[in-house]
A and B are shown apart, each in its own frame.
Chain A
Amino acid sequence: MVPPFSLKECEARAGPGTGPHPRQPMRRKNLEFEPLSTTALILEDRPANLPAKSEEEAQRHRQEYNEMVAGAKRREMKEAQLLVHLICPTCRPFRQRNTRRVRELWWQGLPPSVRGKVWSLAIGNELNITPELYEIFLSRAKEKWRSFNETSSVSENEDCGASLADRESSLDLIKLDIFRTFPSLYIFQKGGPYHDLLHSVLGAYTCYRPDVGYVQGMSFIAAVLILNLEEADAFIAFANLLNKPCQMAFFRVDHDLMLKYFAAFEVFFEENLPKLFQHFQNNSLTPDFYLIDWIFTLYSKSLPLDVACRVWDLFCRDGEEALFRTGLGILRLYQDVLLQMDFIHSAQFLSRLPENTPAHTLFTCIANTQMLSNNRRWNQVKTDCTRVLLAY
């Protein structure tokens, strides 16, 4: 018997693509959709201890099975195409395409085969970066690496103060961090299939935005994009993603702005989970202790990778609000455990969430999190928080 198919299941089956197993270094060339559900184990004949099916019956069952598979295939294709079609840039404007049906499908998690494409389109390309531009910055980065290697022995002994930020933003740190990015996957490490790619994307970015440079946490974001997109597309999505107000605030470590985000988060925290909010207050556990890690890496470090990808789906659908809503969803999910913990145990727990954090219960918790406070939505609350902070 073939079970009914859904996008959710389709994702679960295709999990290894984004899950904790390294995928072969294959690239998605296009959006050809291959349903993954036709390989189910089918018991064609009856067990030997039972009377065999008649030829006619067997024939009928085979036909029924084929129809079910074909139907499931069609449904999967349709759903995937619906998602892709509805956000394709040449169609109607994004807002009109973002219908209820699409939002529902999107909520359930994007099928891995279209995930990268949908992310790309949702993130957009406000910066108008072309693949050619990426190549230009990449070759600049390579130039810098070359000259750095030649002169590094000299510059090592120079003053340590002034040019520190410059040097840091560049090369050593990237090199150092690449092998510390998803170390358990063994694909970004030296000799791994994605090592050079990650190096290239991060290097090109530091040349593209020398004022921002490389900041720890970026390697995780670039890595997740590389797992889902072609090199140049990954760079374009990366640069545009980091250019969003929330990411800019965090990666430039604009402390005042970060405080504004934390304050807004706390408004919804108190609203949604008053008991836990009070408990954290009593323990001096402020949101910076866990939100910094979560926001800087878009949850890719603290949640299992497949769950993190679903959070990214939501982030691409709903914007920065989704990130803070997810945070509250996590707190809701683990509220009972956290209420029993003191400062240090909570802080530890939140920076390394259980590896078996289940996507469906987390998403139920996220769904139960209302992003409405006194009739104010996230953006309004954030603006009001600025006023309060300025008043101090």
Chain B
Amino acid sequence: MAKQYDVLFRLLLLGDSGVGKTCLLCRFTDNEFHPSHISTIGVDFKMKTLEIDGIKVRIQIWDTAGQERYQTITKQYYRRAQGIFLVYDITSERSFQHIMKWASDVDEYAPDKVQKILVGNKSDEEQKRQVATAQGNKLAKAYGMDFFETSAFTNHNITESFTRLAELVLQANKKDLDVLRVSINDKLNLAALEEEEGVCDSSSDAQKTCWC
């Protein structure tokens, strides 16, 4: 079976319930927006393939339930992520304050190498805004993260933020990437890389191109 991508990694969407994680994701993967989306219980999945610097990047996005009660469950998934979106809603001060809690959980449970970006969603709802762009910027800076204000509704900054996090993850795994670059120039090695995503999942340590 021909391989449809060169590398595979997992991104995780975190943030309070109702900030629009599922909507961001639907906009990104299907270019759709549903104002009344069914709530996420546990974890949901989507995937998309991007091309970055000539490399086909397959990203699995894990969309988690936002309610605090569920964090006992969702924390189990942090360690499997290479990139994390911390999402708040610019019309909810509370969701912004909770970013600190989310970030400290990520520090505790996610791998050290994990890449994070801060996302303030619902930027189209300017009249209801409770969190200034400057506040978002400041917090992102304090954490050393990139920052995007997005709108799943108007499709503002969606592709940009997802692509940015994917790039960061690629960069952070530069060493593995170089191995891949060599292999891309080498038809024989490339053939050797043609394995199923599933196999990749189960024998992650052995696969240099899959940082599971």
User: How distant is the Cα of A279 from the Cα of B199 in the complex, in angstroms?
Assistant: 10
Q: Is A48 an interface residue (CB 8 A)?
A: no
Contact assessment for A168 and B198 in the assembled complex, using a CB-CB cutoff below 8 Å:
no
Q: Is B39 an interface residue (CB 8 A)?
A: yes
Provide the A272-295 mask, 1 if CB < 8 A to any CB of B, else 0. 000000000011100011001100
Which of A138-146, A179-187, A197-205 contacts its partner?
A: A179-187
Q: Is A50 an interface residue (CB 8 A)?
A: no
Distance of A216 from chain B, by nearest CB (Å): 5
Q: A164-B68, A342-B196 are in contact. Are A284 and B202 (CB under 8 A)?
A: yes
Distance of A186 from chain B, by nearest CB (Å): 9
Contacts of A176 in B (CB 8 A): 17-18, 39
Contact assessment for B72 and A301 in the assembled complex, using a CB-CB cutoff below 8 Å:
no
Contact assessment for A253 and B202 in the assembled complex, using a CB-CB cutoff below 8 Å:
no
Contacts of A160 in B (CB 8 A): 94, 97-98, 100-101
Question: Which chain A residue has the least Cβ–Cβ distance from B201?
Answer: A343
Q: Is A157 an interface residue (CB 8 A)?
A: yes
Contacts of B187 in A (CB 8 A): none
Contact assessment for A165 and B73 in the assembled complex, using a CB-CB cutoff below 8 Å:
no
Q: Most chain-B CB neighbours within 10 Å: which of A165, A255, A258, A292?
A: A292
User: How distant is the Cα of A183 from the Cα of B39 in the complex, in angstroms?
Assistant: 10
Question: Which chain B residue has the least Cβ–Cβ distance from A282?
Answer: B202
Contact assessment for B17 and A173 in the assembled complex, using a CB-CB cutoff below 8 Å:
yes
Contacts of A189 in B (CB 8 A): 36
Q: Is B56 an interface residue (CB 8 A)?
A: no
Distance of B130 from chain A, by nearest CB (Å): 8
Q: Is A206 an interface residue (CB 8 A)?
A: no
Contact assessment for B69 and A215 in the assembled complex, using a CB-CB cutoff below 8 Å:
yes
Contact assessment for B67 and A168 in the assembled complex, using a CB-CB cutoff below 8 Å:
yes
How many residues of chain A have a CB within 8 Å of chain B? Answer: 41
User: How distant is the Cα of A181 from the Cα of B43 in the complex, in angstroms?
Assistant: 17
Contact assessment for A253 and B101 in the assembled complex, using a CB-CB cutoff below 8 Å:
no
Tell me which of A157, A172, A255, A293 contacts B42 (CB under 8 A). Answer: A293
Contacts of A168 in B (CB 8 A): 17, 67-69
Distance of A189 from chain B, by nearest CB (Å): 6
Question: Which chain A residue has the least Cβ–Cβ distance from B36?
Answer: A183
Interface positions of B (Cβ within 8 A of A): 17-18, 34, 36-47, 60, 65, 67-70, 72-73, 76, 93-94, 97-98, 100-101, 196-199, 201-202
Contact assessment for A343 and B197 in the assembled complex, using a CB-CB cutoff below 8 Å:
yes
Contacts of A177 in B (CB 8 A): 17, 39
Known: A173-B18, A182-B38, A255-B72. 15 other contacts (CB 8 A): A156-B94, A160-B98, A165-B68, A168-B67, A180-B39, A216-B41, A216-B65, A282-B198, A284-B201, A284-B202, A292-B43, A343-B201, A344-B47, A348-B46, A351-B45
Question: Which chain A residue has the least Cβ–Cβ distance from B212?
Answer: A284
Question: Which chain A residue has the least Cβ–Cβ distance from B40?
Answer: A216
User: How distant is the Cα of A284 from the Cα of B97 in the complex, in angstroms?
Assistant: 35
Contacts of B97 in A (CB 8 A): 160
Q: 3 smallest A-B Cβ distances: which pairs?
A: A292-B42, A342-B198, A160-B97
Contacts of A179 in B (CB 8 A): 36
Question: Which chain A residue has the least Cβ–Cβ distance from B100?
Answer: A160
Contact assessment for B41 and A301 in the assembled complex, using a CB-CB cutoff below 8 Å:
yes
Q: Is A297 an interface residue (CB 8 A)?
A: yes
Provide the A287-310 mask, 1 if CB < 8 A to any CB of B, else 0. 011001100110001000000000
Q: A165-B68, A289-B43 are in contact. Are A283 and B202 (CB under 8 A)?
A: yes
Q: Is A191 an interface residue (CB 8 A)?
A: no
Contact assessment for A217 and B68 in the assembled complex, using a CB-CB cutoff below 8 Å:
no
Q: A161-B101, A342-B196, A344-B60 are in contact. Are A216 and B39 (CB under 8 A)?
A: yes
Question: Which chain A residue has the least Cβ–Cβ distance from B61?
Answer: A344
Can you list 19 pairs linking A and B with CB atoms under 8 Å apart?
A168-B17, A177-B17, A180-B38, A183-B37, A213-B69, A216-B67, A216-B69, A216-B70, A255-B72, A282-B198, A283-B198, A284-B201, A292-B41, A292-B73, A301-B38, A342-B197, A343-B198, A344-B60, A348-B46
Contact assessment for B202 and A344 in the assembled complex, using a CB-CB cutoff below 8 Å:
no
Q: Most chain-B CB neighbours within 10 Å: which of A173, A179, A189?
A: A173
Contact assessment for B67 and A344 in the assembled complex, using a CB-CB cutoff below 8 Å:
no
Question: Which chain A residue has the least Cβ–Cβ distance from B197?
Answer: A342
User: How distant is the Cα of A183 from the Cα of B201 in the complex, in angstroms?
Assistant: 34
User: How distant is the Cα of A344 from the Cα of B198 in the complex, in angstroms?
Assistant: 8
Contact assessment for A296 and B38 in the assembled complex, using a CB-CB cutoff below 8 Å:
no
Contacts of A213 in B (CB 8 A): 69
